[in-house]
């Protein structure tokens, strides 16, 4: 697979690392206007770093756009003439809908809209995808690309904003929970490094229990909460302090914010 990442910033580079990590491309182009800080990627023999988006497009089959929303329209206009019907166009841009991309490029292109998260750099992204009518023929290919770097799910485009909150912003939410657990562990006497190790591996184990045994969180909670024991005492106190409620309210607030952001501002 010949892949170009147009906009090798935070997310673009995370995707590039995920692709390198999974040996997912025969060649990869990484583009940005100022390439100095990503030049080192050329040490991987199959990677070309350039500020020439058209060159990247002409030499690639899969085009992953990871620029800021306000830059996308102009970049699409610039590369439009180099596109063929064989290209698969994957956008990661928040809030930029398929109709708008079709409006710039035309509906004859395979267009996939995706929302990965930054864990893609370590092959653990939860990525949601949807496609235009033509792109549906390539949805399995897009799923295969993202499944190599984590787990993917096809969703209706109307749910893309909600998926952004749960999966992309979700990385920040889970980080804060891990950090708070770490602070609790420090208060109980572990040093900072040990405390983080305990918190993050317990978090990873909890998620793996659900993923691998296909069970429900409450069923797993029932297994750990000894009657009159310390777990139920701590858990109930967390709920009295509003743990579930504050998470749900935070998620809904994020969603309200993302819904307010107008495409023209993006
Ligand atoms: N899924 C997720 O977890 C997240 C998704 N996003 C989405 O991903 C997109 C990228 O976000 P993020 O990575 O944080 O943004 P960054 O600003 O870090 O990266 C964007 C990159 O695009 C480059 N760029 C700008 N203009 C051009 C151009 N004409 N041609 C090629 N490259 C260009 C910039 O580099 P230079 O200035 O040198 O050109 C920059 O490195 C956003 O649309 C955002 O909505 C954002 C955060 C998280
Ligand atoms: O915070 C934001 O608005 C963007 C979208 C998802 C992650 N970062």
Q: How far apart are CA 157 and CA 154, in angstroms?
A: 9
Q: Is 135 annotated as a binding residue?
A: no
> Counting atoms of ligand 2 from 1, which one is nearest the CA of 94?
5
Is any ligand 2 atom within 6 A of the Cβ of residue 169?
A: yes
In sequence order, what DSSP letters do the residues of 127-196 get, joined into one string?
Answer: EEEEE-TGGGGGHHHHHHHHHTTEEEEE--GGGHHHHIIIIIIHHHHHHHHHHHHHHHHHHTT--HHHHH
Tell me, what DSSP letter sits at residue 122? G
Return the percentage of the chain with pLDDT > 90, whole number. Answer: 94
| pLDDT(262) > 70 | no
Rg (CA), the chain: 21
| pLDDT(265) > 90 | no
**Number of neighbours of residue 14 by Cβ within 10 angstroms:** 23
In this prediction, residue 25 carries a pLDDT of: 87
- Tens of pLDDT, residue by residue over 85-135, are 999 999 999 989 999 999 999 999 999 999 999 999 999 999 999 999 999
Q: Is 69 annotated as a binding residue?
A: yes
Q: Is 232 annotated as a binding residue?
A: no
Instruction: Give mean pLDDT, residues 68-93.
Output: 96
pTM value? 0.93
Neighbouring C-alpha atoms within 13 Å toward the C-beta of 128: 18
CA of 194 to the centre of ligand 2 (A): 30
Where residue 266 falls among pLDDT bands split at 50, 70, 90? very low
Ligand nearest the Cα atom of residue 69: 1
Return the percentage of the chain with pLDDT > 70, whole number. Answer: 98
Please name which of 75, 257, 76, 53 lies closest in space to residue 168, comparing C-alpha atoms.
257
Residue 50: which H helix or E strand, with range? Answer: strand 47-50
Going along the chain from its start, the domains and CATH numbers come out as: 2-155 (3.40.50.720), 164-260 (1.10.3730.10)
- Tens of pLDDT, residue by residue over 6-46, are 999 999 999 999 999 888 889 999 999 999 999 999 999 89
Q: Is 168 annotated as a binding residue?
A: no
Is any ligand 2 atom within 6 A of the Cβ of residue 27?
A: no
In this prediction, residue 234 carries a pLDDT of: 98
The sign of the dihedral angle between the CA atoms of 12, 17, 22, 23 is positive
Tell me, what DSSP letter sits at residue 51? S
Ligand 1 pocket mutation pick from 15, 17, 33, 100 by most atoms within 8 angstroms of CB:
33
- Tens of pLDDT, residue by residue over 41-60, are 999 989 999 999 999 999 99
> Counting atoms of ligand 1 from 1, which one is nearest the CA of 35?
38
Please name which of 86, 82, 91 lies closest in space to residue 108, comparing C-alpha atoms.
86
Q: Is 7 annotated as a binding residue?
A: yes
- Tens of pLDDT, residue by residue over 206-239, are 999 999 999 999 999 999 999 999 999 999 999 9
Ligand 2 pocket mutation pick from 161, 169, 260 by most atoms within 8 angstroms of CB:
169
Residue nearest to atom 31 of ligand 1 (CA): 32
Q: Is 25 annotated as a binding residue?
A: no
Ligand 1 pocket mutation pick from 7, 70, 122, 129 by most atoms within 8 angstroms of CB:
7
Is any ligand 2 atom within 6 A of the Cβ of residue 118?
A: no
């Amino acid at each position: 697979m010949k892949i170009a990442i147009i906009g090798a910033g935070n997310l673009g580079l995370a995707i590039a690392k995920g692709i390198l990590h999974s040996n997912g491309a025969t060649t990869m182009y990484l583009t940005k206007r100022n390439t100095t800080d990503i030049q080192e990627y050329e040490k991987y023999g199959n990677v070309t770093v350039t500020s020439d988006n058209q060159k990247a497009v002409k030499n690639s089959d899969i085009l992953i756009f990871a620029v800021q929303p306000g830059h996308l329209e102009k970049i699409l206009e610039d590369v439009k003439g180099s596109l063929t019907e064989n290209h698969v166009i994957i956008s990661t841009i928040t809030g930029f809908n398929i109709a708008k991309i079709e409006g710039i490029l035309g509906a004859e292109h395979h267009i996939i809209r995706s929302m990965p998260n930054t864990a893609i750099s370590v092959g653990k992204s939860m990525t949601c995808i949807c496609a235009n009518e033509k792109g549906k023929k390539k949805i399995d290919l897009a799923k295969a690309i993202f499944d190599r770097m984590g787990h993917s799910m096809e969703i209706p485009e109307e749910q893309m904003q909600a998926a952004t909150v749960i999966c992309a912003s979700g990385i920040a939410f889970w980080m804060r929970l891990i950090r708070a657990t770490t602070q609790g562990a420090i208060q109980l006497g572990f040093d900072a490094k040990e405390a983080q190790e305990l918190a993050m591996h317990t978090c990873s184990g909890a998620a793996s229990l659900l993923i691998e045994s296909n069970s429900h969180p409450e069923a797993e909670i029932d297994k750990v909460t000894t009657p009159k024991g310390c777990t139920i005492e701590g858990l109930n106190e967390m709920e009295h302090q509003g743990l579930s409620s504050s998470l749900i309210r935070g998620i809904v607030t994020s969603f309200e914010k993302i819904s307010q952001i107008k495409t023209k501002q993006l």
